[in-house]
Structure 1
Amino acid sequence: MKTQVVIIGGGPSGLLLSQLLDRRGIESVVLERKTKEYVLGRIRAGVLERGLVGLMEEAGCADRLHAEGIVHDGTLVSHGDDMFRIDFTELTGTPVIVYGQTELTRDLYDAREKAGGRIEFEVDDVTIHGADTDAPQVSYSVGGETRRIDCDFIAGCDGFHGVSRQAIPLSVRTEYEKVYPFGWLGILSQTPPVHDELIYANSERGFALCSMRNSKLSRYYIQCSLSDSVNDWTDEAFWQELKRRIPATMAEKLVTGPSIEKSIAPLRSFVTEPMRWGRLFLCGDAAHIVPPTGAKGLNTAASDVHYLYDGLCEFYKAGSSAGIDAYSERALNRIWKAERFSWWFSSLMHRYPDQSSFDLKMQVSELDFLRSNKAAQTAMAQNYVGLPY
């Protein structure tokens, strides 16, 4: 088999890249390790930056997003019972849209299937060959049958544990990592959201986040110990702890109910450099991870797709390699800014086990500065809605 671009990973970034390339007449094949049902069963965040919304529009996949997505003009930040609002639209002229990643992925699958896009599911033993040559190949197996694709380029959209990053020699790549000393315990419940915008809460007991998927489906998180397991937390214990961490006015309005999904996620910041080796390009979690505090995971993957899509279009349509040659530098320049914002916001809102009394005073002072200073609010709003590509 031969194609122009092999895309390893059938999550949202791989599908979005494939759909965008298809609309410019560039062929691709997507390889996914799991089934379509498994991919669509993953629960992920759904705060979309303006840039990602624009890419979905360009991909012809934004109709349902605009019809069902919830426009958020701002967010609430609290410390104890003190709460204030950051108005994104007033400060930047741009809101964000809350639209579940599962639904976005479903829209992209529908578009690829309608266009007759080639997606291989349940692939094993994916191996990248000759990425540092002009004739790269990808071999893999499906149902015990070994297959090979010859291609011009390979896009590694296969996540942190995928094969793409590991294909880059250790002598070439440098990895930067920060592991945070806590996790997030999250539940999904068929209850109305406690508020129509997200609430980020800093409390003496730790961080909490009140979010939603739609008007009848809520997503809540609390900071927890890395030693905790889901079995340590009954639904009742979770709701009681959440009420202790959010302002009393919100706790009184909180509607509780049985969880339909419960999980604990560790937090880390991670970046690998470079994001290109020969004709292999890393996108999304294959190259970088952010803590979820700033809602940047899916959005940083989208910015990678933007830069790679631009570079590949320039290569095929204008015969220039300038875009793909600049891909890693352009992508990393924006990624490190998103890493900084996610690290800063995480540091502001969480309680760390080694915080001194001085550290706590600085945290309170930083929150008060954010509450009272328009320039600080503008900087936060600009980062939250997404820096320009």
Structure 2
Amino acid sequence: MDPQEPGPPSQPGPYSQPGPYPQQWGTPPPYPQQPPPYPQQWGAPPHPAQFAHREPRIIPAPSGTPFHRLARTAKHAWWRPLVGTAFLGAGVLFVSAGVALVWGIIHSLITHDAIQPQGNDLFPSATENLAITLVMLGALTPIVGLTAWVIQRRPFWSVASVLNRIRWRWLLMCCLPGVGYIAVSYVLGIVVDAIFPGQDAAGTDDGGSWVGFGAFVVPALVIICLVPFQSAAEEFVFRGWLIQAIGAYGPDQKDGRARWIRTVFRTPWPGIVIGAAAFVSAHGYTGWAMTDVFLFAVTVGWLTIRTGGLEAGIALHALNNLFAFLLPAATGGLDGWDVQGGAPWTLLVSDVPSLAFYAAAVVWLSKRQQVARVSS
């Protein structure tokens, strides 16, 4: 065969192009088929925006928000701090009654004695009365978080710090200057008492002697285990909830109110002062003791704003209360743990430098540790 002569046609392979559509199959259907028209009786078709992601129920504060403005979220309304405060008060009453009821039942089952309240005391033991009081106060912490979460629709722990949580490492670090505060206060109390004898400036006169380990160990365990929770709860209420509830009413940048109103309520000081006054009214102190407690509350309130959280206040409050309870327990004076009266003016002489030392040490430490002051 001539190499130029074409050979026979090759057979189609398995991957060759298909042939024409067979005529005997009829007219081919249109491809691709169009969907049927939207039924008119169903109304207009839904707009895609209706299926957009819904806004979350819990919204944190915007980035860069200071502590006292953490309640000013996108969910803020003028009534939320007011309703939240009422909700918090009702929760305190409910939980306190529940704790007293359960505690009383357990007490009766163990001792087989009926509860016979005498004055402000429910039980004959001072240690037991102290314990139930500390438990009632310690229960305030979750109530405050629940109020912020349910009523203000913000993170549960946003009352604690600008990071919406308790900064445990920073809390432990604040205990170091807290121990320094106790030491400075005690030493200054001895010095002031020596200069002004008979005034008992810092309560250095213990009024008793060592009661012995057997009588001290049970009250000490109660105090050590429960006082930190009681102190933290009071900080959550007076330096957390109140400061943030009042700070939520601060104006925005474009608010049209008078300049002095915008200037005053944009700062944290209204919340700090009102929270300190409420803190004093919740205690039974009089005279110079009220002034000292108010100064304490203002100092830890300022530190709360300056460090962006409650940790500095919790550390100082807990250490101060531990010292205040353990000393009477060790010297047989725990029966008067709930007695709160006046104090001489010399108390301020020893306490003002001690508070100044603690504030300066915490601020210095926060700068070195670069503690967050605004939300991230």
TM-score where L is the length of structure 1: 0.24
Q: Which has the higher contact order (CA 8 A, sep 6+)?
A: 2
The structure that is helix-richer by fraction is 2
TM-score where L is the length of structure 2: 0.25
Query: Over alpha carbons, which structure has the higher Rg?
Result: 2
The structure that is strand-richer by fraction is 1
